[in-house]
């Protein structure tokens, strides 16, 4: 433990909603005699949300309640504010008379602007903002090409990432990138109780008057319950570790099971990674441990580790290319003329409402609308369908996902949508166009996933469920589903849409050839 540098410090929780393996908390307790913990329900974020029963707000609130219980058991409490973050943190830092505010570094453009504003307000008070790497194993400039440039292709990035990890050490000892930043019970003695004159949540109206002790109820924040329990979502560290322990038993099958939405293949940890209720270091340690101890499951563990590296790849892409949130990563793709007008809006509405007439697409949309989650294979399928079957701008889909996904992460979402639209870095070729029927036949062969989310097709035989409009009328009658009445006809013909898309993307071919 290093010598104490400060009398008081404040840990500002953001996307690190846990108390173990926590970099900012670890640093604060190492440097300060007293440490407060706080969270801000940022009005700049909350007021932009379109749904009052927002699953993300409910998840955050649940995770914060677990944190407050953990702090309470150690003689401290969580401080919560409902305000614009820069003003809230500066005001609280002054009230608590802390020298430094500790937080995990964030990479989204709006978050970077927010942190710059906070640092300026704190500096004006003679205080500092201390940001620490926590969301990633390697920061945005720690894995670069031999020429010192950021990578734009994933495979060489992954190779360089693994090489750097091996060079620096891949265990959990104190000097490696995977070091466990957990704290001892003796360290917890430095966790400070908030000032006694702060009102306690959930006193009605208290959260509107500034900082409170404890976690306000959702209605105090202007939101409604989102019934996470009915969706099988348990917020907080406990929920994350339940999923992780379950996945440890399945990790060896991940490489083959992950593409089939009707079976239990993924880890389902994406929302926990998004809000930091589990550390990425622990997940990488889990993958490496599986590689060492489960040789028969090495392919599964290696594939899952690669997915974690993809996440870091997209973080560094967004950091170095913030324009990609609004424009094509590859500028020549901005020349594409996407469909517009009333017909385009009608097609977009059909896509958003899951009535495209393509069962796997509609089932995927039903899944996200019901749960806030969509299987990763299906994210690719529905994104390709929007861009290359409907001819709609990828930004429409990216924004809609941003409203719907409980695990929404801007870097991965923008990266995934630009991959599907072929406009991103290391994206699928522009002439590669997923066929929604063959994708359905391949990844949901018996139609189990479709039957779950599209009840109208529940009795349709597997032979016809992927393209029910081709089923004989007698078969539709027997299944109780007349296509065009009980389930929509396809909004577009895939074969014709493919030709239209190839023509639309021809402008890119012309530009790259010139």
Q: Which of 338, 403, 435, 469 is catalytic?
A: 338
Give the active site residue among 142, 180, 289, 310.
310
Residue 150: both structure tokens together: 């950021």
Instruction: Name the DSSP letter for residue 3.
Output: P
Annotated active-site residue 464? The verdict is: no
Residue among 142, 224, 332, 376 flagged as catalytic: 376
- DSSP result, 125-170: TT-EEEEE--S-SS-TTTS--TTS----SHHHHHHHHHHHHHHH--
Cβ neighbours around 499 below 10 Å, total? 11
* Catalytic residue check, 307: yes
Which residues, listed in sequence order, are joined to residue 32 by a DSSP beta bridge?
6
d(CA 336, CA 49): 30
Q: Which of 425, 457, 430, 426 is nearest to 444 (CA)?
A: 457
First to last CA, the chain: 61
Of the candidates 48, 45, 116, the one whose C-alpha atom is nearest the C-alpha of residue 82 is: 45
Q: Is 338 a catalytic residue?
A: yes
Of 291, 271, 180, which is closest to residue 226 (Cα–Cα)? 271
Residue 460 sits at the vertex; the CA angle it makes with 454 and 462, to the nearest 5 degrees, is: 100
Tokens linked to 168: 């620096």
- Residues present in the chain in total: 514
Could you tell me the two tokens for 61?
A: 């609130």
Q: What DSSP state is assigned to residue 107?
A: -
Q: CB neighbours of 58 closer than 8 A, spacing ≥ 6?
A: 218, 223, 225, 226, 228, 235
Active site residue 227: no
| Torsion (CA) 442, 268, 22, 110 in degrees, nearest 10 | 70
268: alpha, beta or left, given left = phi > 0 and alpha = psi -120 to 50?
left
Q: Tell how strand 212-213 and strand 78-83 pair up.
A: antiparallel
List 307, 332, 403, 441, catalytic entry: 307
Which residue in this structure is represented by tokens 């290359």? 388
Q: DSSP string of 261-312?
A: TTSS-S---HHHHHHTSS-HHHHHHHHHHHHHH-GGGHHHHHHHHHHHHHHH
* 417 annotated active-site: yes
CA distances from 272 to 16, 237, 240, 294 (A): 9, 8, 6, 25
Instruction: Judge whether 310 counts as a catalytic residue.
Output: yes
Q: Which of 394, 396, 430, 464 is catalytic?
A: 394
Is 425 within 8 Å of 329 (Cβ atoms)? yes
Q: What's the angle, vertex CA 245, arms to CA 244 and CA 250, rounded to 5? A: 85
H or E stretch including 11? strand 6-13
Which of 267, 272, 278, 277 lies closest to 301, judged by CA? Answer: 267
Q: Among the options 417, 419, 430, 464, which is catalytic?
A: 417
For the annotated catalytic residues, the residue numbers are 307, 310, 338, 376, 394, 417
């Amino acid at each position: 433990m290093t010598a104490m540098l400060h009398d008081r410090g404040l840990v500002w929780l953001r996307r690190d909603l846990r108390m173990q393996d926590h970099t900012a908390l670890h640093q604060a307790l190492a440097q300060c005699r007293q440490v407060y913990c706080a969270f801000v329900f940022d009005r700049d974020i909350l007021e932009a949300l379109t749904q009052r029963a927002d699953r993300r707000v409910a998840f955050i609130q649940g995770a914060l309640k677990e944190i407050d219980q953990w702090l309470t058991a150690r003689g401290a409490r969580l401080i919560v504010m409902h305000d614009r973050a820069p003003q809230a943190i500066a005001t609280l830092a002054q009230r608590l008379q802390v020298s430094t505010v500790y937080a995990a570094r964030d990479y989204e453009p709006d978050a970077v602007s927010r942190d710059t504003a906070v640092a300026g307000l704190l500096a004006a008070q003679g205080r500092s903002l201390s940001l620490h790497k926590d969301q990633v194993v390697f920061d945005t400039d720690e894995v670069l090409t031999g020429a010192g440039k950021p990578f734009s292709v994933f495979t060489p990035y992954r190779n360089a990432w693994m090489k750097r990890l091996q060079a620096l050490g891949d265990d959990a000892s104190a000097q490696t990138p995977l070091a466990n930043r957990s704290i001892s019970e003796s360290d917890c003695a430095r966790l400070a109780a908030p000032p006694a004159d702060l009102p306690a949540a959930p006193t009605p109206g208290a959260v509107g008057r500034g900082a409170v002790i404890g976690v306000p109820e959702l209605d105090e924040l202007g939101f409604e319950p989102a019934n996470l329990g009915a969706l099988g979502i348990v917020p907080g560290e406990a929920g994350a570790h339940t999923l992780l322990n379950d996945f440890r038993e399945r990790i060896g099958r991940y490489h083959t099971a992950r593409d089939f939405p009707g079976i239990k293949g993924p880890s389902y940890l994406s929302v926990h990674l998004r809000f930091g209720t589990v550390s990425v270091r622990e997940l990488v340690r889990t993958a490496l441990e599986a590689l060492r101890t489960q040789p028969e499951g090495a392919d599964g563990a290696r594939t899952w580790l690669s997915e974690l590296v993809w996440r870091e790849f997209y973080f560094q892409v967004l950091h170095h290319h913030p324009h990609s949130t609004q424009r094509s990563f590859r500028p020549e793709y901005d020349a594409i003329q996407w469909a517009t007008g009333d017909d385009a809006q009608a097609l977009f509405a059909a896509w958003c409402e899951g009535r495209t007439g393509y069962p796997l697409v509609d089932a995927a949309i039903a899944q996200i609308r019901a749960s806030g989650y969509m299987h990763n294979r299906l994210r690719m399928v529905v994104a390709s369908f929007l861009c290359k079957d409907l001819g709609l701008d990828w930004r429409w889909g990216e924004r809609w996902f941003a409203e719907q996904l409980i695990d929404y992460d801007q870097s991965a979402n923008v990266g995934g949508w630009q991959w599907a639209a072929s406009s991103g870095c290391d994206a699928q070729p522009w002439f590669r166009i997923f066929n929604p029927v063959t994708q359905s036949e391949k990844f949901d062969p018996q139609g189990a996933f479709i039957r779950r989310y599209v009840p109208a097709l529940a009795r349709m035989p597997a032979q016809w469920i992927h393209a029910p409009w081709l089923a004989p009328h007698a078969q539709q009658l027997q299944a109780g589903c007349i296509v065009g009445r009980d389930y929509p006809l396809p909004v577009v013909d895939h074969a014709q849409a493919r030709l239209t898309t190839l023509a639309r993307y021809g402008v890119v071919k012309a530009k790259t050839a010139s």
